[in-house]
Structures are given as structure tokens and as C-alpha cells.
Amino acid sequence: MRSPAQAGLFLGSVEGVVLAVNLVLVVLAVFGLLAPRNRRQVLVLAVTLGLAGLLSLTHAIADHFTGEGITYAVLAHLQYGLQRGELGIMRFPALVAAVCAAGLAYLAWLWGALRAAAVQRRRAPSAGLTWVVALIALGLLPLHPAALELRTLWVAMSMDEVSLDQDMRWTASQDVAGPPRPVVYVYLESYERGFLDEQLFPGVAPQLRGLEREGLTIHGIATAPFMNWTMGGMVASQCGMVMTPLADTGAGGYRPGVHCLGDVMRDAGYRLSYIGGADLNFSGKGRFYRTHGFDTVIGADELEAELGAFPKSDWGAYDDTVFARARQEFARLDAAGGPFGLFVLTTATHPHSGYPSPGCVSGDFANPMLAAAHCSDGQAVAFVRWLQQQGRDDLLIVVASDHLQVAGDASALLKRNPRRDNLFVVLGHDIEPHVVARASTMVDVAPTVASLLGLGVGEMALGRDLLGPAPTLAEHYGPDRFNAMIPAWRTGFDDASARRGAPVPQP
């Protein structure tokens, strides 16, 4: 989302504007060292330079992670991390070092500018020129890309949009419910369907392409506001809800009161486990799963406590470690009897360049993200084949992306695809191979999975069963209109009303 450009608020590329801003910063810094005649001028220059530098630093950091500047994902991570004390910035030492270096450089400049003002060089530019430069720079701050992006987000979220309240529904029918069946749901990090396009990426994902031909494939699951990062995608695909980072999540947990897929499964007698290689505190992933029905929740720290030291990437355990632990967890759940659900999250294709397991077969790809995607293709399908050999004829296997890829080394290539959608493949002995194509978003995944599990759920919050007759909200309103409605919308549901409207299917 290049929101300022979309809003038509400045001409040219964002990169060009950032370059111009950096040149202005250099001019300000030079004037601060050569021109000031008194401390008041230093103060004005310092405030202007500090604000511009802070905006530039914020934009650069956000763009590093999103590839789209300051987005809803940035606001969500900051708001949740600051509220919970779980920002996790120390996992990025290079970033911390860069911020510290920028701060030290600013302090060094301020010291130099104050000394220059004290000396009052005779050959310094006139005081009037210094004031003109400072005021022009201050006036240009609202045109900074970061300021424009923040303004666009604020306007979008400040609009009075309540029409989605009437679309919040939780419906379940015991007439269509069947016996609960076990499920393994594999979230492939940032692994959108575009990776399977043989014309764009020949040879990258041949095994996942094979899986698509064996089961149910749903095309058209697009992204939408608050859904295009891991927790946003998980909340949408399990709760039928968009994540609202500027709303209070409450002291009791993450999205308390909202009835999600895990809650429905728990009420139907399921035992639920989550396994991922990343830190559970990041974005409240662990809190989300524990709040919504999961008994076993395992992340990087839990794996280390179990296994001791093991090779790690910047995001935690590599996928070979995660899949090995997932095999153990499946065996444990299967042996205990009764319905169960195992949810797994990979990290191999996490931007920017991917984090494939050491020794993984990555193919002969010059682009590191494509190599990581090829590695993940082999590992994910190997795990699926292992599951299929465990003798559970009632097992449902879902292989899906958590969100579209952003800020990765393959992002520019993926954007060549005019229709980017999420991967969603369902396998099972009773699942006939076929393709369903519908205009939809990640919120529609939750009731679809619940329906496939025999839980009789047709609607879950904003989500609609993609195998049922009801139109999705993307179909009802149109994708563009639905996407425009989301940012400003607030559910109006408190914890009690959400629970009253939520279905509680019985096994």
C-alpha cells in the first residue's frame, strides 16, 4: 500500500521523495553547523531536523519490514507490543545498532551546532537566510512520505463506518454437522499462490502444484486491510474477524470474547496444539492461541527448553526442527484418541531473503527467496506425505498461506501477477479434486474450515463458508468497497455480546 501515492498527494515515486527529503536533511545539517548565530536558530533547526530525521527513520524501518512504508501491520505491531511489553526489538540487533547510531549522530550534530552558534562566525550566512531555510523545511514536513502514510491511515480509520455491524454473524446448524474429524493445518509463511505459477516461477513449487491436483483448491482468497501479516492472517482465517490494532484487546487476552475456530473446536471436544519456530511473544501469537482453545502452544523458547541448543535463524527455529516436532505432536494427539487439531507455522519463506533450513534442497535459483520457496515446497509436501501414511482415513489436511508476501526478494516478481491470492489446499480421503473460485478474503477461511470439519458452521463473524451458498462480503459489496469499509469499522461488540452471538456446536 503506497497510500500517499494512491491518494495523489505528491508526484513521482516514493523513493524519489525520500531522496529529496534526505537532501533537505543534509542541507539542514550543514546550515546547523555553519549558519546559526544564536541558540534560538539552533533550536528551530534542531526541532526541524529531529522531526524530519525521525520520520525518515520510521519510514525506513517500516519499509524494511513491509516494503510498503507505514501500514496497518506496523501500527498493530507497535500498539500491541508497547501495550504488552512484547515489542521484541532485541531480536533485530542490526536495527537497534542503526537506531542508536542515528541518535548518536544527531547528538553530535547538536553539540557541533551549539558550538557554532557560540562562535558566531562572521562569514556565516545571514540570520534571515537561516530562518528561511528552517521554516521552508518545517513546512515541507507534512509532505514527508511517512507523514502522508500516517495521515492516510488516520483518515481511513477515522471515517464513520458502521455498516459491517449487520454482517457480523455466527451461525451453526446441527442438521448439517457431522462427526468431528482430526485436522492438520499448515500455514506456509508468505507463500502465496503465485509461487505455484509455472510461467512466472518455473520449477519453484512442483510438489505443491501436485498437491493442488489431488484435493480441493480455492482460488480468489485475496488480502484485505489488517490481514496481510502473520497475526493479521491468522486472526482473520481463524476468527472470521479483522484485527483491530487500535482497539483495546482487553486485559484478559488477545481478542477476548470473539468466538474463533479454536473455540468452536474446543467446544466440540477437540484437543488443539500449535507449533511454530518463532517467538510466541511476537505480536501476541502465544496469547492468541492460549486464549482461543489451544492446550499446547509451542514456539522458539519451548522448543529450546525441550531440545536444548539447536540451529536458529533470525526468526527462531528452522522448519526442519518445526516439522520434526510437529510429527511428534501428531503422534501424541493421535494416540490419545478423540478429535484433535494441529496447527503449524513455517518461517522458511519469511522476507526478505527467506530462512531455509541448513542443508535443505533449494534448487538452482539465483533469487534467494525462490530458493527458500523451493525448499519449503519440498519440506511441506514431505510432511503432508508423512501424514497421509499414518492411517487416518478421516484426517483433513490444510496447506495454506498466512498472507501474501511483502518486502521479500521475490515481491517485485510476484506483483507481475495481476491477481494475487492466498494458497489454500485441502486434502482428505473423501475430498474430491476440484477447484472453487470465489471473490473472498482470509475471513472466509474460518467458516470454510469449520464446515469441512463437520462442525456445521456456515457463518463466522465476517466470514462465509466458501463451499456454501451465502455470498461472501467481497462478493456482496465488491472487493474494493469491502476493503474500503474495513479500516474505519469497529464491531460494536463487547465481550458479552460477542459470546452471546457465538455458536457453541456440540460433538
What pLDDT digit, counting tens, does each position of 66-89 carry? 777 888 778 777 766 666 666 667
Question: Which residues share a beta bridge with 343?
Answer: 185, 274
Tell me, what's the pLDDT at 242? 85
pLDDT at 45 (0 to 100): 80
257: left (phi over 0), alpha (psi -120 to 50) or beta: left
What are 87's three cell numbers?
A: 515489542
> What pLDDT band is residue 410 in, cutting at 50, 70 and 90?
very high
Question: What contacts 237, CB < 8 A, 6 or more positions away?
Answer: 261, 400, 402, 442, 443, 445, 446, 449
The alpha carbon dihedral of 130, 133, 136, 137 has a sign of negative
Strand partners, 396: 183
Beta bridge partners of residue 297, listed in sequence order: 274
Q: Which residues pair with 344 in a beta bridge?
A: 186, 275
Q: How far apart are CA 405 and CA 194, in angstroms?
A: 10
* Domain range annotation of the chain: 3-158, 175-501
CB-CB contact of 92 with 315 (8 Å): no
pLDDT at position 506 is: 33
Q: Looking at residue 135, what is its pLDDT?
A: 78
Question: Are 432 and 214 within 8 A, CB to CB?
Answer: no
* Residues 415-450 pLDDT 10s: 998 889 999 999 999 999 999 999 999 999 999 999
Cell output for 57: 527513520
Q: Model pTM?
A: 0.82
Q: Residue 495: its pLDDT value, please? A: 38
Out of 8-12, 379-383, 426-430, which region has the weakest mean confidence (pLDDT)? 8-12
Confidence of residue 16 (pLDDT cuts 50, 70, 90): low
Q: Which of 26-35, 49-58, 103-112, 204-213 has the lowest mean pLDDT?
A: 26-35
CA 149/CA 161 separation, integer angstroms: 20
- Angstrom CA distances, 447 to 188, 235, 472, stand at 20, 13, 11
The fold adopted by the segment(s) 175-501 is Alkaline Phosphatase, subunit A (3.40.720)
| pLDDT for 143 beyond 90 | no
Taking residues 294-320, what's their average pLDDT? 95
